[in-house]
Amino acid sequence: MPNTSTPAQYILILIDMAESRGCARDSLLAGTTLVESGISGIGARIDDADFVQLVANAQRLTGDPALGLKLGLRLNLSAHAILGQAFITCRDLAQVMDLLLKYHHLLASGIQLELETIGEQCVLTLVSTPSDVSVEFEYELLYGAFINTLRGLLNAPDLCLRMELPYPEPAHSSVYYEALGKAVYFNCERGGILFHRDLLGTPVPSSNPVLGSLYEAECARLLADLEEEKSVAEQTLRLLRKLEGQYPQMPRIATMLNLSPRTYRRRLDEEQQSFQQLLDQVRGEHATRYLQNTRLPLSSIAYKVGFSDPSNFRRAYLKWTGMTPGDIRKG
C-alpha cells in the first residue's frame, strides 16, 4: 500500500534551512531512505515517513521550536511547483481557493483542507490524518505557507488574517505574532484561518485564464497519477476521511469507487483488509483529532464519530487505539 508523500522541493528547502545553521546533511538524513536514494528536484515526491524523520532530525539539531513556522514562511509560489503556477493565473482569490481545495493533495497528500462560509466569515480548517509530527508543527507549517503564499500572490506583504490554534500559547509565541500578525489566538476550540468573504473577490494581478487552463489540466493529470497508485483500502480511507461524520456503509463506499460490493470485498480481502477495520481506523483518527485539537466535551465527540453513548465510545476508542480518551486529553 503506498504511503502519503510530500513534494521533494519542500524537503530541499528544509535541508537548506538546517544546513545554513551548520547542520550536517548526513545527520539530517539519518534514519531515512534518502541516504541511499538521494533527493530529486521539482516534481519528485518523498515518502512521509522520511519527511517525519527529517523533521525530527532538524528539530533536534537546530533546537528551534518554531521550525515549522519558519519552514512554512519559506514555501512561496515557486515552491508549490505547478499548483503555484496555476494560482498565479487565477482570476481572483475565490478561484485560488477552489484550486487549493481541489488539488491540495499535490502539496501534502496526507491532509484534508475544508473551507466553509459562516455568515460573512470564511473559515479554512485542516483535517489532518495521523502523523508523527506534532500538532504544533503541522499548524505552523500550514499557516506560515498559507499566509506567505497569499502575500506573494496578491502583492500584499502586510496581509494578516485571523489565525486560531487549538493548543496553548507556546513559549515562542512572539515568533507567531511577528510572522502572522497580532490576530493569532491560542487555546481555541478548533484551529482555523478566518477572513471576511469579501476577500475572495480580490483580483490576482497576474491573472491569465488561457495559461491557467493549461496549468489546471496538468494539476488534474498529476493528481490522477497520484490517486492511481492507491489501493482499494487506501481509496476507502481517503473517502471515509473526507466524509467525516457521515461514515457510509460498505455498499455505498463500493458504489463511490465504481465497484460492486462483491468485487469490493474481494479486493479488500486480497489486500488483507476489511471495511470494518478501515472504518474503525478512521473513526479513531477523527476522535483523536477532536480530543487533541478541540475542547469539545466527550459526549459531543462520541456523537460526531457515531456513538450516542459516551461509555460505548470509551470502550471502542480503547479497543481502536489501546488508550482511553482521557489519556489523549492529558497529553
**SS3 readout for 260-327:** CHHHHHHHHHHCCCCHHHHHHHHHHHHHHHHHHHCCCCHHHHHHHCCCCCHHHHHHHHHHHHCCCHHH
Q: Are residues 120 and 43 in the same domain?
A: no
Query: Are 155 and 204 contained in the same domain?
Result: yes
Instruction: Give percent above pLDDT 70 in the chain.
Output: 94
Asked if residue 104 and residue 176 are part of one domain, the reply reads: yes
Q: Tell me the pLDDT of the chain averaged across its residues.
A: 90
Return the DSSP state at 121.
E
**Cell 502523523 found at:** 131
Please give the residue range of the domain that contains residue 294.
231-330
Residues 45, 72, single domain; the answer is no
pLDDT at 125 > cutoff 50: yes
Percentage of residues in the chain having pLDDT higher than 90: 65
Q: What is the pLDDT of residue 42?
A: 54
Q: Is 210 exposed, middle or buried (0-12, 13-18, 19+ CB in 10 A)?
A: exposed
* Same domain, yes or no: 123 and 182: yes
Clarify whether residues 138 and 268 are in a common domain. no
Domain boundary (229, 264, 285) is at 229
Average pLDDT over residues 128-140: 79
Do 75 and 164 belong to one domain? Answer: yes
Q: Mutual orientation of helices 261-270 and 275-293 as an angle, nearest 10°?
A: 80
| Across 22-37, average pLDDT | 86
Query: What per-residue confidence (pLDDT) applies to 11?
Result: 92
- Examine the fold and report which residue of 213, 229, 245 is the final residue of a domain before the chain moves on: 229
Verify that 82 and 60 share a domain, yes or no: no
Residue range 177-197: average pLDDT?
95
Express each pLDDT in 271-305 by its tens digit: 999 999 999 999 998 999 889 888 889 999 999 99
Residues 145 and 21 both lie in one domain: no
Total domains in the chain come to 3
Contact assessment for residue 223 and residue 106, using Cβ atoms and an 8 Å cutoff: yes
Helix (H) or strand (E) holding 26: helix 25-29
Q: What is the mean pLDDT of residues 306-329?
A: 92
Do 150 and 279 lie in a common domain? no
* CATH classification at residue 299: 1.10.10.60
pLDDT value of position 41: 55
Residues 242 and 220 in one domain: no
Both 113 and 216 in a single domain?
yes
